[in-house]
Amino acid sequence: MACLTCSSSQAQRNHSTQLRIVLIGGRESNGGLKGKSSAGNIILGQNVFDTSRRTAQSEVRQQEVFSRQVTVVDTPGWWWVYPREDTPKLDQIEIQNSVHLCPPGPHVFLLVIPVGLYLPELVKASLKQHLELFNADVFSHTIVLFTAIDPCSDEELESRIRTSPVLQWILQQCGNRKHFLNISNREDRDQVKKLLEKIETLITNNGFRHCSVDRRQGETLRKEMRDLTERASKRFDQVQKQRKNLKLQIQGGRTQSQHLRLVLIGAELEGKSSAGNTIMGRPAFCVNNSGSRTTHSEISHSVVEGRRLTVVDSPGWFYINTLQETSEMDKLEIESSVNLCPPGPHAVLLVVGLETATHATCLRSVQEHMSLFREEIWKHTLVLFTMSDWLGTKTVEEHIESDEGLQWIVNKCENRYVVRIR
């Protein structure tokens, strides 16, 4: 955890001219424009944070704003309702590292919450767990920053708060400190000025103290990232060599199969059907946003690059379910998927989303559901990574090396993996 203490040494003299802000919060399912990066751009008055992609690495930017030197650190978001163990380790490291990017430490954390976001009870535990990446006192340095792309009156905001017990709880933890930011109105600088004034009031109330960080902890994080990057580079080199040798074998005279049979398997909501459509080059499998799922194995045929292609989509399992918890019908459908393309599939694509960590429970779920087939299926399996936007500026190899569960799966597949680019 980031070890934070409070310091008032020089803060009283500097707080009026220097403000150090860390943006934190969850991520909406649709990405959206109403997040932390957009808020950072509004505060600094310039497009300094990239809003076209997910923030996968903590980034720091500085600008002079209303005669103050304002430093803003943007951080990766987590899924609002997921426990911290579901947040990829890379993201946890980057969130921890954020406080080391604005030495000697941040004056304030802005917890960014879109006004229209529904917050179920699970959000409370998730928020507490993710803020533990810093320290127990982080709430006393936090202001809730409500954002929207449309105007929102004080009455509308208060009405929203009254109807949300979770919002009431969050505000209570933060001393009822809040501010609204219309992130589509760049011309309204008064809303930014008022926010900075609220931050200065918070600093004064905290005895002119900022959160200072343990330098040793920062050094530990940097070493962890260096080691991880080195391991990722080695894996990348191994995979490239493996793929080069395979290409030489193909060019060496081995006849390619004129009919390729593939089976898609994996947990629910990982994008199996969408991946199947990408492979087929057409909407062969039903995909929608209504939460419906594949309930039975489906087969589709096409001709791609002059080759006959058969793809079988199969029902997914809930990502943390044991095999026993999966319905008998789903198990039968998953088992039968390999029988829909006789004499059998050339390859099984194990679809894994990059948006969550493959912790011990997830790994057990994969292992148990793969046991529906014979052990030799692993020799024909490659990992198809989806949700690639979650990588941001990181590589898939860095993601793998930060996740022991993923390492087990990829190693079991003998380093056979590919990333689906949306």
Q: How confident is the model over 317-349, as pLDDT tens digits?
A: 999 999 999 999 999 999 999 999 999 999 999
pLDDT of 389 over the 80 cut: yes
Mean pLDDT of 202-228: 87
Whole-angstrom distance, CA of residue 350 vs CA of residue 411:
13
CATH of domain 4-213: 3.40.50.300
Provide the pLDDT confidence category of residue 123 given band limits of 50, 70 and 90. very high
Provide the pLDDT confidence category of residue 420 given band limits of 50, 70 and 90. confident
Choosing among 3.90.1180.10, 3.40.50.970, 3.30.420.40, 3.40.50.300, the CATH entry for 257-419 is 3.40.50.300
Helix (H, G, I), strand (E, B) or coil at 119: coil
Whole-angstrom distance, CA of residue 290 vs CA of residue 74:
31
Between 136 and 358, where is the model more confident?
358
Percent of the chain exceeding pLDDT 70 equals 91
What pLDDT score does 290 carry?
Answer: 57
Element of type H or E holding 213: strand 210-213
Element of type H or E holding 328: helix 328-336
Model-level pTM greater than 0.85? yes
Tell me: the pLDDT tens digits for 248-279? 877 765 556 789 999 999 999 999 999 999 99
Mean pLDDT of 2-16: 53
Tell me the two tokens of residue 373: 């087939």
Closest listed residue to residue 143, CA positions, set 177, 168, 167, 175? 177
Between 49 and 153, where is the model more confident?
49
What pLDDT score does 294 carry?
Answer: 87
Provide the pLDDT confidence category of residue 32 given band limits of 50, 70 and 90. low
Backbone angles phi, psi at 252, to 5 degrees: -80, 5
What pLDDT score does 43 carry?
Answer: 97
Question: Mean pLDDT lowest for which of 35-39, 390-394, 416-420?
Answer: 390-394
What pLDDT score does 381 carry?
Answer: 98
What pLDDT score does 277 carry?
Answer: 93
pLDDT of 70 over the 60 cut: yes
Mean pLDDT of 384-411: 94
What pLDDT score does 14 carry?
Answer: 54
Average pLDDT, the chain: 90
Burial degree of 296 (CB within 10 A; 0-12, 13-18, 19+): middle
Provide the pLDDT confidence category of residue 137 given band limits of 50, 70 and 90. confident
What pLDDT score does 186 carry?
Answer: 86
What pLDDT score does 162 carry?
Answer: 95
Whole-angstrom distance, CA of residue 128 vs CA of residue 2:
14
pLDDT of 63 over the 90 cut: yes
From-to residues of CATH 3.40.50.300 in the chain: 4-213, 257-419
Closest listed residue to residue 381, CA positions, set 330, 337, 324? 337
Whole-angstrom distance, CA of residue 156 vs CA of residue 284:
45
pLDDT of 35 over the 90 cut: no
Q: Where are the alpha helices (DSSP H) in 135-267?
A: 154-162, 165-173, 190-205, 215-251
Helix axes 89-97, 215-251, angle to 10 degrees: 140
Q: 60 CB contacts (<8 Å, ≥6 apart)? A: 71, 72, 73, 74, 101, 102
What pLDDT score does 149 carry?
Answer: 86
Tell me the two tokens of residue 64: 């002079």
